[in-house]
Amino acid sequence: MNNNNNNNNIHYSSTMSNDHETGTSGESLRMFDPSYHPYPPQANIYSDYPNATSKIEAFDYNYWPTPATTTHNILTNPTITVLDQTQSSSSSSSSSSNPTIETLVPVSSVQLSQLNTSATISATHHHHHIHQHLYPPSPPTCNDPSTWLGSGNYQSLHPTTNPSSYRHYTTPCPFYSSNNFYDSSQPQWTQPPPPPPQTAIPIKFESSYSPPSYFERSNHINHCQEQISKDEPSNSPQHINWLKNDSSSTQLIQIPPKNPLNGKTRTRDKYRIVYTDQQRYELENEFIISKYISIPRKSALSLTLSLSERQIKIWFQNRRAKERKLNKKRQEISSTRQLNNSNDGDSPSDGGLESPNYYQNYA
């Protein structure tokens, strides 16, 4: 099922799934209809994200047994409208002829028409509970050269810019606006930088690390291209060769181990890569859908994002850790506020994350 946003020239492809409470009364199942009335976005859920304009991924969408009125089309109205449910159902507002609809509160900070992320809409109608996932068009991937601006154009436009990073989007990334090198004068993406020379002697660290092969690559583009569906554990043949200082089977930069006993060092320029905004954007969207990545989804993301499955797995682990940290901080703030009102001990919390479902992962 597709929904077209004609007013804003954004096409939202969507998938829909039914949740519990379906059709026990025998009535036909009613699917999502954008002409019905939205419930308020759950604004506080994503309070850890400062850019609230992109954080309406989850909100309730309710429609009523009465016929639709001319109120709010959530897909075409540039401003998401919030229903104030505090009023009685018998009251009516000037914005709606539906007697069950109360005050309509515009939320100017949440504009779906400008949203460049996926949205999850839950709709309820009597015994129906429907989830609709909307997928606005994604920005071009980092590996799509057709979207890059020629290096000469970039140099002429930005002669003094440090070309260490070329993540240069035509629009700011909603999740990582601070990481964008956004410039309204740029009509297209910029070209990734040429690979740096590999003649420099790698700087070694004292820490004990077992670098996977992608740390030994010279740049991120090569990494992207070579990481597809590859997942190399620390005891991979490449790593063993690296430990043995054997260059015969790889093109890795040779780094003699600082300490032959553990033989683990990293080069300073390859310690970790910075994911592109597009990669983090897609990962965040996936995290919104599920805190735990399934094996099929991990595989698919590995291909689409040019990241190894191991990188995706670790990203989700780190992301969950971040979520727990944020929830813990929220809980501390909340308990501090209630300190004068209650002496009850804090209830234990897992940070709001469900336990992993192994059965689901292997299904």
Residues that bind DNA (CB under 7 A): 164-165, 176, 178-179, 203, 205-212, 214-215, 234, 264, 266, 268-269, 271-275, 280, 292-293, 295, 298, 309-311, 313-318, 320-322, 324, 351, 353, 356, 358-359, 361
Give the shortest CB-253-to-DNA separation in angstroms.
15
**What's the closest the beta carbon of residue 119 comes to DNA, in angstroms?**
21
Between β-strands 10-18 and 37-41, what pairing exists: parallel, antiparallel or unpaired? unpaired
Query: Is the Cβ–Cβ distance between 111 and 8 less than 8 Å?
Result: no
Please check whether residue 248 is in contact with residue 258, taking contact to mean a CB–CB distance below 8 angstroms. Answer: no
CB of 57 to DNA, least distance (A): 17
Say if residues 185 and 149 touch (Cβ distance below 8 Å).
no
| In contact, 147 and 35? CB cutoff 8 Å | no
The DSSP line for 85-127 is: TTS-TT--BTTB--TT---EEE-TT--GGG--S-EEEEEEETT
Of residues 40 and 352, the one with the C-beta less far from DNA:
352
CB nearer to DNA: give 148 or 215. Answer: 215
Backbone phi and psi for residue 135, each to the nearest 5 degrees, phi listed first? -125, 95
CB nearer to DNA: give 102 or 282: 282
Q: What is the DSSP string of 286-315?
A: HHHH-SS--HHHHHHHHHHHT--HHHHHHH
**Minimum CB–partner distance for residue 208 and DNA (Å):** 6
CB nearer DNA, residue 7 or residue 349: 349
User: Of the two residues 148 and 316, which places its CB atom closer to DNA in the complex?
Assistant: 316
**E-only strand ranges, the chain:** 2-5, 10-18, 37-41, 58-62, 81-83, 104-106, 119-125, 128-135, 148-149, 189-190
Shortest Å, Cβ 353 to DNA: 6
> 120 with 288: CB under 8 angstroms?
yes
Smaller CB separation from DNA, 11 or 320: 320
Tell me whether residue 274 or residue 303 sits nearer to DNA (CB atom): 274
Q: Whose CA is closest to 315, among 264, 352, 281, 271?
A: 281
CB of 190 to DNA, least distance (A): 14
How many CB atoms sit inside 10 A of residue 195's CB? Answer: 12
How far apart are CB 141 and DNA at their closest, in Å? 15
Q: List residues bridging with 38 in a β-sheet.
A: 61
